[in-house]
A and B are shown apart, each in its own frame.
Chain A
Amino acid sequence: MDPINFVILASILFAIGAAAVLLRRNAIIAFMGVELMLNAANLALVSFSRMHGEIDGQIMAFFVLVVAAAEVVVGLAIIIAVFRARQTISLDEPAELKG
């Protein structure tokens, strides 16, 4: 199969992830959207790597995986701290900062 199809798939996944971040009000779901965007970028890197016939893109995907793992740690820590304090992780609920 032509690898460009995977790039199109990656773009669709990226769009779904971005929509989840912007539209969903649950912090965990929004965060899953971010992860989906990062993994879409990985898929695009790997497909382009295949199209260019070299492995640079695949190595970059490893870097992205490591960074994404570190980001999950920090993100979940913040979300858990918020949950402990408020018993909710809705993004609409915390509304003390406005204007």
Chain B
Amino acid sequence: MIRRGIAKRVGAIRFAYMSPEEIRRLSATKIITPDTYDDDGFPIEMGLMDTHLGVIEPGLRCKSCGGRVDQCSGHFGHIELAMPVVHVGYVKEIKKLLRSTCSECGRILMTDEEREIFISEMDGLRKLGGDPLDIRKLAKEIAFTARKSSICPHCDGQQLKIMLDKPTTFREENTKLTPKEVRARLEKIPDRDLIPLGLNPEFVRPEWFVLKVLLVPPVTVRPSITLESGDRSEDDLTHKLVDILRINHRLRENRDVGSPQLIVEDLWDLLQYHITTYIDNQTSGIPPARHRSGRSLKTLIQRLKGKDGRFRQNLSGKRVNFSARTVISPDPWLSINQVGVPVRAARELTVPMKVTAENIELIREMILRGPEPWEKGKYKPGVNYIIRPDGRRIRLTETNAETVAEKVEVGFTVERGLMDGDIVLFNRQPSLHRMSMMAHEVKTVPGKTFRLNLAVCPPYNADFDGDEMNLHVLQSEEARAEAKVMMMVQEHILSPRFGGPIIGAIQDHITGLFYLTHKNPLFSRRDVVSIFSNLVTEGSPEAITVDGERMWLGKDIFSHFLPEGLNIQLRSSICESCDTCKKRDCENDAFVVIEDGKLITGTIDESSVGAFKGDIVDKIARDFGTTEARIFIDRVTTLALGVITLKGFTTSIQDEDLPKMSVKQIEDTLLEAEEEVKEMAQAYRDGELEQMPGRTLQETLEVMALQKLGKARDNAGKIASKHLGLGNNAVKMARTGARASILNLTQMAGALGQQAIRGERPSRGYDQRTLPHFEKGELGAGARGFVKSSYKEGLNPIEFFFHSMGGREGLVDTAVRTSRSGYMQRRLINALEDLMVYDDASVRNPADTIIQFKYGEDGVDPMRSIKGKAIDMDDILMDMYAIKRERGE
């Protein structure tokens, strides 16, 4: 594919209405016969598949242009209608025109002076920047004023009321107006009178709304398909056109022989019906035309409309080549910038290479290797196609490799398979934000799955339970350059949504780093070698001598990967937010201090390096550049995995074991709460419950019960977590932010708590009770969905039932939510897509309306901001002191 010359742009598109003359002029042939093919299977002359309209079968040539199937895009034909028929899309317009013009003389129902005033008003509106919609609105108002006068100011003709019987019949008082009469009236309206009514006489005459000639689309627009059985199946449009032709024919015959008026009119109505459904098969008021099987036909408007219509399906979104899709799997040895592409995909996907004097030898070699070369069991990129300057493609095979290699010259293009380092786009649906499609570097891998680094899961929202992703190979140098500069993963470490990192350590990475840094453990030489064995790094961390042996401190190991000059202070996720923070002296080791790239105190966990929260990642990306940040994430995650592999990590049901004492305590708390709720219910029945302002008695009870039971669950949780310390692996995960939360743990160890349906206690099911196990009117905790058991203990059948109710609600909720939020996002994007920042930092739309004088009021890019703030003053101070130190002040 070679593009030559200057790419031209379409400047503008003008929409206009086609006049009958234009249709006839455009038409390649007049269509008369309703039949399509003759017995030999050849298209009938002047039939719907006439070869003047283009060809759909290979071998035939178009009679209009002589082109073959892929050369001729088709030509229009036309049908002369026996009697005129109303166009459904414009009935409202016709009604407006009939009502606001004189039925006798066809003039607009206002004096010329009034008309001119309105026209100038319209011009004024246009000058003020009124768009076509504003003008339409004005035209509507004008038409409204005009139709109020019942006597024509021009000819004094009395105006009768004109009604529209949906969908296409017009009535004047009680007499039906035939389309012919309607057309005659519309013909009389002078051009100048159309302007105030919102029609542009340069492009449309109202009588054209009543069709005399019907445009027939080319056969290429409605191709017939040949079934396996050899039968032909026609397109819906062809079917409809056949109907129109048949009725048209009959109508003409009947009219010409002078059949009774009644029959002619019936046929006329039938023709109207067919043409109406040919245009829009969902017109309200008439039954849709159906296929023999009962399926309603997809006619013109249906082809354009909606999600599966031409616009949204084929024009706003397009199918592409050079793409692949397969299951994804994790690969911690890849960089976040890379993607593992399986060999099979790499062979199939190609990159065009232009043959130049500089690379011709290289390319010859490549071609000689054939289409599927291997070298020492390793993938080598092969060549699939050679494209000659005249556009001919030659497929490379083992056999023709040598001959082709000789033929290659400068100016040829060669399509080679992917090789390591190629830039590709990688995408996971739903593509909710721009980080759903990022550029990666190719790394060919064995197997059949795409591989990606775990740290890029958050932006794609990917996991490996069977997720599939798409890959697109860029085809031009310009595209590759743009992708590399703007779309590489490392450029998206910071999210424009909140000005923080969206790529960072997750799950085991965090646990690993916790093990490495918490309370600064010592690592032996053996350990360090094991941890470092998978890392690419220069130098080695500083060692200390303990008992005559060289040992390494965890924090020093971590510091080794921090860039020099990094200064930061933050609180770890494990911070217990004590009343007074002891900062560096924190006994939980939860205050992170990094000075000049050395970790002095603190535990590294989610709030340091995690995706969404990692402040260190944030700072590095911002102050040291994205490359440095990428290297940091790559290395630190591998480091963490080294540590966790060394240390080992597991969690089991025993992690939720509690001492007997606490189990008893929890039981007591829950029982107590239950008892209290019972008392409340009793008080409610006795009418002694004190009513909350603005709530009914029952609501009061519900609110109070919910509060009470919620508190009970919390208390149970507190008792449970007292015995769950940081020595517990499950707790480690929850506290460091690696996975799960304390709430999950308390639900496993303590009690599940209240199950809620629509935010309330379950109350429906049986008459005055949730389940037949309870007494009618029982309002206690258990009867209304309170689950005393923990996941570990297991739920009793009743509790299980309530839990399932809550679970089901969750599922339904998710299903509803995705569709609703999807639509909201579509609307938001549609409304805002055209907005762009201009050189003066103002935000404008294509109509050049200023939406914001300065983007975001301060002109700051949210992605570059620090959690929304333009400047972090602490950074400034640090810099300032550093400069002063340098100056020796």
Real binding pair: no
B residues lining the A interface (CB < 8 Å): none
